[in-house]
Structure 1
Amino acid sequence: MKKMWLILTALVGMLTVASCQRTTGDVSSSDTEAVLQNILQRKSVRSYRSDMPVEKEKVENLLRAGMAAPSGKDKRPWEFIVVDERELLDSLAAHLPYAKMLTSAPMAIVVCGDETKSDYWYLDCSAAAENMLLAAEAQGLGAVWTATYPYRERMEVVSRFLHTPSQIKSLCVIPVGYPMGGQEPKDKWDESRIHYNKWK
């Protein structure tokens, strides 16, 4: 449990004197390695154990991780809709072309932004969504980003079924659950994409 919390707090930018009650210089190499491994092990999970609901505590951890994301001018335009009603999950699956896995997921988190708070809500909300994906991995959960933004028809599906106000725009639907297994992380390291000081 202690290791999981170290991973979560570091992932959401809270591994500081205030959050961990220790100085940055005291961060052990094993803590650093655990955090980096969690990032590298993150994978897109598309099949879930429908017999295993996600515990309330873990759901809250995901939401806390999301809300710890960086935000331009600290506007925090994000809003999160936790969906765990089977009928709603199935309806979203039926109408969102790349979210069919919602039929087996016990829940989902819909990441939305309030466009009246920021013109760049989708950037802040993207950071929040990534934090939640990493927090899911750290807790032994599976998750996957299924985009609604910038596709108007997908955003309208979310709005119709979840009754969102007009200023609330959905970025993505994140199915969450315990993975069926078999998924492996991809090695995306590509040294050719790295440039130092100048484009060469």
Structure 2
Amino acid sequence: METMEAILTRRSIRKYLPDPVGRDIIESILRAGMGAPSAGDEQPWHFIIIDRHDLLEKISEMHPYAKMLKNSPAALLICADPNVPKFKDYWIQDCSAACENMLLAAHDQGLGAVWIGIYPAEKLVAGTRELLGIPEHIVPFAAISLGYPAEEKPGRSRYEVSRIHDNSW
């Protein structure tokens, strides 16, 4: 898939077939995430592969916008170590870039995926940290549900010329 095609046709997919997602595909998605730019190349991210149904179901019950995980064969949790030495306050942008790379890589692999925000909702951060045994200094940032799509959504243009300004507002 060409880059622009992937960007313009990627959609949030919340319904999945029960087929498992292979470890090789998951690792290629993780490689895409780790290929994202990061401030000072600090790469503050950590990733947790979640493919146990009981964990996916518990997250779907805890998070009001993660109901799709109940029927998802896998998810990837993006976490951050905000204590990086040089650029402490940039981990949010760094992890956001990793998430977008992973969503595009999943789409390229024929998977459906959706970004599920966790940070900065303290209750979700604490619940996710406790459920998955994440150390206190690591922040659960977002999850991405993954699966072979059981729904189709056509690409759509979001280009809006009224949002573009030349040289000043």
TM-score, scaled relative to structure 2: 0.95
Quote the residue 2:109 is aligned against. 139
Which runs of 5 or more structure 2 residues have no equivalent in the other structure? none
Quote the residue 1:150 is aligned against. 120
Quote the residue 2:9 is aligned against. 41
Which runs of 5 or more structure 1 residues have no equivalent in the other structure? 1-6, 8-33
List per-residue Cα deviations over 1:49-84 (Å, max 9, x = no partner): 12x111111101100000000000111000000000
Query: Deviation of residue 46 (structure 1)?
Result: 0.6
TM-score, scaled relative to structure 1: 0.80
Query: Deviation of residue 187 (structure 1)?
Result: 2.0
Q: Is 2:56 aligned against 1:89?
A: yes
Counterpart code for 2:36 = A
Query: Deviation of residue 186 (structure 1)?
Result: 3.2
Deviates most, 143-152 or 116-125: 116-125
Looking at structure 2, the residues matched to 71 and 89 of structure 1 have their Cα atoms a distance apart, in angstroms, of 29
Looking at structure 1, the residues matched to 160 and 154 of structure 2 have their Cα atoms a distance apart, in angstroms, of 18
1:47-62 correspondence to structure 2 within 5 Å: 47-50=15-18, 52-62=19-29
Looking at structure 2, the residues matched to 126 and 88 of structure 1 have their Cα atoms a distance apart, in angstroms, of 23
List per-residue Cα deviations over 1:9-61 (Å, max 9, x = no partner): xxxxxxxxxxxxxxxxxxxxxxxxx21111100100111112x1111111011
Quote the residue 1:123 is aligned against. 93
Query: Deviation of residue 183 (structure 1)?
Result: 2.1
List per-residue Cα deviations over 1:124-150 (Å, max 9, x = no partner): 000000000000111100100011011
CA RMSD of aligned residues (A): 1.0
SS of residue in 1 equivalent to 2:110: coil
Runs of 4+ in 1 over 6 A off after TM superposition: none
Quote the residue 2:42 is aligned against. 75
Looking at structure 1, the residues matched to 90 and 4 of structure 2 have their Cα atoms a distance apart, in angstroms, of 28
SS of residue in 2 equivalent to 1:144: strand
List per-residue Cα deviations over 1:135-173 (Å, max 9, x = no partner): 011110010001101100111111011110011101111
Looking at structure 2, the residues matched to 183 and 154 of structure 1 have their Cα atoms a distance apart, in angstroms, of 29
Larger radius of gyration: 1
Quote the residue 1:108 is aligned against. 75
